[in-house]
Amino acid sequence: MNRLGIIGCVATAAFCASTANAAPPPERVAFTGGTILPIVGDRIENGTVLVERGVIVAIGGEVEIPYDAFEVDCTGLVIMPGMIHPHSSDGLDVANEALPVAPFLDVGDALDPSALFFENALREGITSVHVIQANNTVIGGVSRVVHPIGLSVSEMTARADVALKLSTSPRRGSDRMVQMAQLREAFLALDDAIAKLAEAKYEEKLKEDEKPMDVGPAEARERGMALLEDRDYDELHLNLVRLRRGELGAWIYAGAAMDVAPALRVARDQGFHEQTVLVIDGDAHLAAREIADAGVRVVLPSQLFHRERDPISGELIETFVPTVFHEAGVTFALQPNPSDSFAERFLNYQAALLVRHGVPRQVALESITINPATMMGMGDRVGSLEVGKDANILVLSGDPLDFNTRVESVYIDGALAYERESDTRLQELLRLQRRQDNGASGPARSNNSNNSNSNNNNNNNNDDSDDNDRARNGRNDANNRSNQE
């Protein structure tokens, strides 16, 4: 592990430990005096959000504050729900396993709470991260939603068993025919396994009741279906059964327009169309109309612009992908690009780009809050500031779509999780930056001073030379007068 990684782990662990060892948060917290952006509902000026035991119990312009509530003065600041990262494999030891079909996996087994990614996410105002395997798979493992703070996976987890990851785009080194064949084979094998289990289950029941087999294999399988329990399935098939029953979502990667139709077909044929979310990339926006007709929601790529050249004219065509889906009436969520060194690594910047390109402000804000929350099956808990929801709250220095705005503090379940002025790593970076800035200007001043001293010395030398010349001339004149006498 490199030095930065070690520092990150130690700093994160120390931060989490200090949080864990701190006094328990107050039972009631009142955020007062700020501008509230609830996402669902109108903007509230000089409003109050009252939290009790981690849940919002009141919100509005005139909220009675209990005498024992801890008050957070937000005068001149903005209060909004925490932002949500809808799709990330960061924090896992590997993004994908080598096995193409692995629905028995759980991302919780590979999650590293000390990963620097989570610390940065919290610093940037993200309060929920949907950790899911990446796109290089046929059928991946089960995802979960975590808070970006905690000493253990269980402590971080907001919701386990969210969705399975699938893909209709080919894995690296494969092609689309093989990809779809493996996908079909997985569900055919599931059907075969269920049929055998059901028939065996019915035979078992007859033996318990001491009755002879009274029907053929097909009827026995049909009767045995009602007798099956989760414990009867092996690990390879249980989560696929849960997917069909609607207990897990299906997040299907479609990296090109031609991969969208197969994804929608698989979802319909296997009975999980209602809980399907498409994770798109490439030119998949060309299938926006088909996606809209299917009523499926999408997670947009972190690169919001798609560029290609016209094959005839050679002209470069640039498409702003969110506009295409907004005009098609498709609900979408944005994701940041944490590895990007530019502003695209911030979710609120991604949302601001939407507004810049004509997408309504409300749609932009929903794409980083309530939309991903709903896709993850947590719309009743997070994504907006409403009575009864978890108190995942951001306190910002200004408008969330203004890039000059800073995250001043973050509250998760009503407890302080991040405070800018107490951010040791950030304050150290700012201190080093100030030192660097001062160092850059220091030598320049020193050089100017040296140049000034050099000029002064030259002037002094010139003055001394003039004085010597005058003295010599004076002595010569005196000698001349003496000789004349």
What is the DSSP secondary-structure string of 294-341? Answer: HT-EEE--S--EEEEE-TTT--EEEEEHHHHHHHHT--EE----TT-S
Nearest to 49 by CA among 385, 384, 348, 465: 385
What pairs with residue 111 in β-bridges?
92
What span, in angstroms and rounded, lies between the C-alpha atoms of 309 and 315? 5
Cβ neighbours of residue 305 closer than 8 Å, sequence gap 6 or more: 318, 319, 320, 321
Nearest to 243 by CA among 277, 271, 266, 280: 271
pLDDT tens-digit profile of 105-139? 999 999 999 999 999 999 999 999 999 999 999 99
CATH architecture of 83-177+235-379: Alpha-Beta Barrel (3.20)
Buried b (16+ CB within 10 A) or exposed e, 423-435: bebeeeeeeeeee
Give the DSSP H/E element, type plus range, for residue 279: strand 276-280
What span, in angstroms and rounded, lies between the C-alpha atoms of 32 and 28? 13
Q: Per residue of the chain (485 residues), what is the pLDDT tens digit?
A: 333 343 344 444 444 444 444 557 789 999 999 999 999 999 999 999 999 999 999 999 999 999 999 999 999 999 999 999 999 999 999 999 899 999 999 999 999 999 999 999 999 999 999 999 999 999 999 999 999 999 999 999 999 999 999 999 999 999 999 999 999 999 999 999 999 999 998 888 888 888 888 888 888 889 889 999 999 999 999 999 999 999 999 999 999 999 999 999 999 999 999 999 999 999 999 999 999 999 999 999 999 999 999 888 889 999 999 999 999 999 999 999 877 667 889 999 999 999 999 999 999 999 999 999 999 999 999 999 999 999 999 999 999 999 899 999 999 999 999 999 998 888 888 888 888 888 765 554 444 444 444 444 444 444 444 444 544 444 444 444 444 43
For tokens 């662990």, name the residue.
13
- What are the Cα distances from residue 70, in Å, to 25, 80, 376, 399? 9, 19, 32, 25
Superfamily of domain 23-82+383-424: Urease, subunit C, domain 1 (2.30.40.10)
What pairs with residue 81 in β-bridges?
393
pLDDT tens-digit profile of 265-319? 999 999 999 999 999 999 999 999 999 999 999 999 999 999 999 888 889 999 9
Question: Residue 396, Cβ neighbours under 10 Å: how many?
Answer: 23
- Domain residue spans of the chain: 23-82+383-424, 83-177+235-379
What span, in angstroms and rounded, lies between the C-alpha atoms of 298 and 465? 84
Question: Which DSSP category does 120 fall into?
Answer: H
pLDDT tens-digit profile of 61-114? 999 999 999 999 999 999 999 999 999 999 999 999 899 999 999 999 999 999
Cβ neighbours of residue 453 closer than 8 Å, sequence gap 6 or more: none
Structure tokens at 383: 């994504």
Whole-number pLDDT of residue 444: 45
What span, in angstroms and rounded, lies between the C-alpha atoms of 287 and 82? 31
> How do beta strands 407-412 and 415-419 pair?
antiparallel
